[in-house]
Structure 1
Amino acid sequence: MIICVAVVGHQSFTEADDALKLHHIVHCSLDVVDERDLDVRDADVRNFFRRFHAAYVDAVSNPFHVPGKKITSKTFVERVSTIVKSFGLSSAG
């Protein structure tokens, strides 16, 4: 089950203390994934990242998106939510 998806970039959009806290949470989350020997199929992971990448590219290719700024597209959020909910259910996508 996916609990959080983070898009890591060069810029933070929160206060300094919050940014440090978020970076710490993301790194700790990666440690938890490393520690657990999860039975996740490579095909599922590749499918997840392929679909996530397509949603990201569509969002940043929008002519109204300012490069380097926070992605505010509701469509992007909905697509990522759908991708996350379907993760691991099937390798077809």
Structure 2
Amino acid sequence: MAVCIAIIGKDNSPQYIATSDLDKELELQYRVHAALDVVEEKCAVGQTPSQDSRDLYIGLLYSTEYHKIYGYVTNSKIKFIIVVDSSNTALRENDVRTMFRNLHSLYTDAVCNPFYVPGEPLESINFDKLVRQIMTGTV
């Protein structure tokens, strides 16, 4: 389902990035970092009042010929970016929302670990395994 999942900290430093294709890892990381500008723009103070400020899901940030990039921002300003293949026509908006909710739950569990240092990259093997299950759609 997803070709890349990234978790970006408050200061826009990557805490976790997983890609499904190692040959395109650099290109996918570029797409994620380019999406951060769109996230900042959409989360800017004074944005349209019609958008519910409690909704963490930002939606489609931008799309390219090969990828669609979606965003999600937590209340603590942690950003989740999911890059999906644009040829995947079976993927609906609800599926992407579910992926973000599952990712947010996994992230919350990972940072609640008493041995995790806030702001450090997430290097848990179990967390990585579960995120890769979200990427393939087996969760």
Q: TM-score range by the shorter chain?
A: 0.5 to 0.7
Amino acid in the other structure paired with 1:24: Y
| Alignment coverage as a number of residue pairs | 80
Greater helix share, structure number: 1
SS of equivalent residue, structure 2 residue 3: coil
Matched, 1:64 2:115: yes
CA deviations 1:21-74 (Å, max 9, x no partner) are 88633227x54226x596431221111011010011111110000001011111
SS of equivalent residue, structure 2 residue 6: coil
Higher relative contact order (CA 8 A, sep 6+): 1
Amino acid in the other structure paired with 1:81: R
1:22 and 1:44 mapped to 2: Cα distance? 21
Identity of aligned residues (%): 34
Provide closer, same or farther for how the CA distance between residues 85 and 38 of structure 1 changes in structure 2, counting only shifts above 3 A.
closer
Matched, 1:47 2:83: no
State the match for 2:30 in structure 1.
Answer: 24
State the match for 1:16 in structure 2.
Answer: none
| Structure 1 unmatched runs, 5+ | 14-20, 88-92
Provide closer, same or farther for how the CA distance between residues 12 and 78 of structure 1 changes in structure 2, counting only shifts above 3 A.
closer
| Structure 2 unmatched runs, 5+ | 16-26, 36-61, 70-85
Q: TM-score, length-normalised on structure 2?
A: 0.47
State the match for 1:90 in structure 2.
Answer: none
2:28 and 2:88 mapped to 1: Cα distance? 24
Greater strand share, structure number: 2
SS of equivalent residue, structure 2 residue 103: helix
Moved over 6 A (4+): none
